Structure 1
Amino acid sequence: MKLFDTPDLRDLLARLLPGLTIQAVASPSGQRVVYFCNPENADWIPDHTQWEEVVLKVACGDSPQTVSYIQREIQILSSLATPHYPRLIYSETFVQDPATEEPLSSKLFITIEERVQAEPLDQLRGNYISESAVLDLIKKLVIALQPLWESKPPLIHRDIKPQNILIRPDGEVVIIDLGIVRVEGVAGVTLTIGDFGPCTPKYASPEQARNDKLNISFKSDFFSLGTLCYELLAGFNPFDDGASDLYTVLHNVVTNKAKPLHDLGLCSAEFSNIIQKIMEKEPYKRFRRIVDLTAALEACPRR
């Protein structure tokens, strides 16, 4: 169930989360409403005085899919001890209004995370148009994603895109929005007979576009990284011309092979070959191991 920022929601949050002051609302994204808040007077938040600003995420719903995604994100953020992901400060599920003690129309899921002092990659594209800058970026992203890929069982982000990558002032990356992370080898909560799985179409892998759950692995994130690098260097997405509908974009992801960047004169043959390999349509043709991709990136001359 999609939630919207309304006066009624803000009034309810004020009753549920006393002392937490909403300062701004983030741009709409997914099924949640995201607020930037001052926690100074919210003494129920652990160590509330150490946070100048926090991120409040609000979602609602009773479907197994909604509950599963939210619980998974909370579990993952709680277990990650790395500066490449936001720190989870607080989480709670509410089922009734404390003022009236009446049940809510649906469960309300609350998470509070640190406000990362960083800018979205989507707003910093101009800093990542050279081969050297994009090469450095993908190296950092691979390092940041490794805790997910190498966890037991492996976790797949499935939504790597410029809006979900934050860049700190020192150039380090932070990855956000783990809402559709998939546990490799575990039955998902979406219908296998669906046309496609959870994704942002123009950054999705072919196996996501086909909802081919058995083949979704860290190699699916490889493909998304390749698409991201291609878009930064080329200045356009290879699967979305901006005018196509959703199904056309997904069809392009599955069938259209992007022209090598080296052939377009946009980067070296070495880096172009790496991007082409991780953007292969069949997962088995991509790098077989994370260490293989890492080694190829390290061996790539910096230009």
Structure 2
Amino acid sequence: MTVVTWLPKYLPGISNLRGLLEGGQKWVFSATHSTDGEVVIKLIKPHTADERVRREILAVKEINSTRVPRIFEDGVLRGTPLGFDVIWLREQRILGENVKQILQRSTLSQKEILALCRHVLEALVDMGHARIVHRDIKPENIIRSADGSYWLIDFGIARHLDLSSLTATAALGGPGTLGYAPPEQYRNKKRDLDGRADLFALAVTLVECISGKHPYVDGARDAPMVLKRIEGAPLPIPKISWNRGRQFADFLTAMGQRRVDCRPRDASDALMWLQELQDTFAGSP
């Protein structure tokens, strides 16, 4: 990633620049900033520097959540040695690992499950105030930091409910990840899409964190079977040893309902429900 050799000249105040990722859409670097400390630098390649990229940046700025890494600065680098202009941003770096990496070693404990659930719901409450739907909640997009806090990342397909949709109304499916997106999202039913879509994806994620297996994808032979499972049966809830009286299982079942109107009204209601449940669990965070 030869960008490292010239980038500090374009972004004063950064040092210790190291490449983290180069994909089809962007370059990602870790760095130290003179005032912001440990940061992530992202360069967005020109063929993806469209309205969706601008909305990703806008989403994080508008949410202003303590559970979402901050964007300190963004702009456009012009006249670069690459031969083209690039959108760039500098954001808060969370030192830790994503939940998918954690699940490759083991499932999460009661304390970790409750902390993840609460922290993501807190992010979703802030998103609800900004009228933004994440649409891609899954283990890869949740980071656990060294102090045990959980952070929600990657707003690349976030839906701004007060802006026009970027997905064609006639499209057969909406953006999202197979197995986590609820029926109204992958069926592109725009009128039904709101923050309750993220509650469904969070419920699926929590079941995966408890059991170590994806409740819809594990054992499915193809994508149509996954979709059939989601639409044909309630969210499978594994046995939870610490779930006295099935309270937490009922909570997950409610968030994971196939019908939008059967889920909690919004993230605030779900968070209140969780807070009431935590009093019944010994060792709650």
TM over 0.5: yes
Residues of 1 paired with 2:23 and 2:154: CA distance? 10
| Range 129-138 or range 108-117, more displaced | 129-138
Residues of 1 paired with 2:41 and 2:102: CA distance? 24
Counterpart of 1:160 (choices 129, 133, 137) is: 137
1:22–1:35 contact (8 Å) kept in structure 2: no
Counterpart of 2:161 (choices 170, 178, 184) is: 184
After superposition, the Cα gap between the structure-2 partners of 1:156 and 1:16, relative to the gap in structure 1 and judged at 3 Å, is same
1:252 aligned onto 2:237: no
Residues of 1 paired with 2:24 and 2:213: CA distance? 23
User: In structure 2, what is the equivalent of residue 109 of structure 1?
Assistant: 87
Residue 223 of structure 1 and its aligned partner are, at CA, apart by 0.2
User: In structure 2, what is the equivalent of residue 43 of structure 1?
Assistant: none
2:115–2:149 contact (8 Å) kept in structure 1: no
1:97 aligned onto 2:75: no
What letter corresponds to residue 171 of structure 1 in structure 2? G
SS at match of 2:124: helix
Q: How does 1:61-72 map to 2 (within 5 A)?
A: 61=46, 66-72=49-55
* Runs of 5+ unmatched residues, structure 2: none
2:181–2:201 contact (8 Å) kept in structure 1: yes
After superposition, the Cα gap between the structure-2 partners of 1:294 and 1:50, relative to the gap in structure 1 and judged at 3 Å, is same
2:137–2:198 contact (8 Å) kept in structure 1: yes
Residue 49 of structure 1 and its aligned partner are, at CA, apart by 1.3
Residue 203 of structure 1 and its aligned partner are, at CA, apart by 1.7
After superposition, the Cα gap between the structure-2 partners of 1:289 and 1:97, relative to the gap in structure 1 and judged at 3 Å, is closer
Residue 257 of structure 1 and its aligned partner are, at CA, apart by 3.0
1:209–1:254 contact (8 Å) kept in structure 2: no
1:34–1:56 contact (8 Å) kept in structure 2: yes
User: In structure 2, what is the equivalent of residue 226 of structure 1?
Assistant: 203
After superposition, the Cα gap between the structure-2 partners of 1:77 and 1:290, relative to the gap in structure 1 and judged at 3 Å, is closer
Residues of 1 paired with 2:24 and 2:150: CA distance? 22
Post-superposition Cα deviations, 1:135-177, rounded to whole Å, max 9, x if no partner, equal 23212211122111122xx111111111211222222222111
After superposition, the Cα gap between the structure-2 partners of 1:256 and 1:71, relative to the gap in structure 1 and judged at 3 Å, is same
Residues of 2 paired with 1:237 and 1:193: CA distance? 30
User: In structure 1, what is the equivalent of residue 120 of structure 2?
Assistant: 141
Residues of 2 paired with 1:250 and 1:30: CA distance? 27
SS at match of 1:85: coil
User: In structure 1, what is the equivalent of residue 257 of structure 2?
Assistant: 280
Residue 121 of structure 1 and its aligned partner are, at CA, apart by 2.2
Q: RMSD in angstroms over aligned alpha carbons?
A: 3.0
Residues of 1 paired with 2:88 and 2:219: CA distance? 34
1:239–1:256 contact (8 Å) kept in structure 2: no
Residues of 1 paired with 2:191 and 2:128: CA distance? 16
After superposition, the Cα gap between the structure-2 partners of 1:112 and 1:282, relative to the gap in structure 1 and judged at 3 Å, is same
After superposition, the Cα gap between the structure-2 partners of 1:146 and 1:176, relative to the gap in structure 1 and judged at 3 Å, is same
| Range 53-62 or range 158-167, more displaced | 53-62
Residue 293 of structure 1 and its aligned partner are, at CA, apart by 1.5
1:93–1:108 contact (8 Å) kept in structure 2: yes
Residues of 1 paired with 2:89 and 2:52: CA distance? 13
Residue 182 of structure 1 and its aligned partner are, at CA, apart by 0.6
Identity percentage of aligned residues = 26
Residues of 2 paired with 1:29 and 1:253: CA distance? 31
What is the TM-score of this pair, normalised by structure 1? 0.78
User: In structure 2, what is the equivalent of residue 76 of structure 1?
Assistant: 59
1:129 aligned onto 2:129: no
1:144–1:173 contact (8 Å) kept in structure 2: no
Residues of 2 paired with 1:97 and 1:242: CA distance? 50
The alignment of Structure 1 onto Structure 2 pairs a total of residues equal to 278
What letter corresponds to residue 97 of structure 2 in structure 1? E
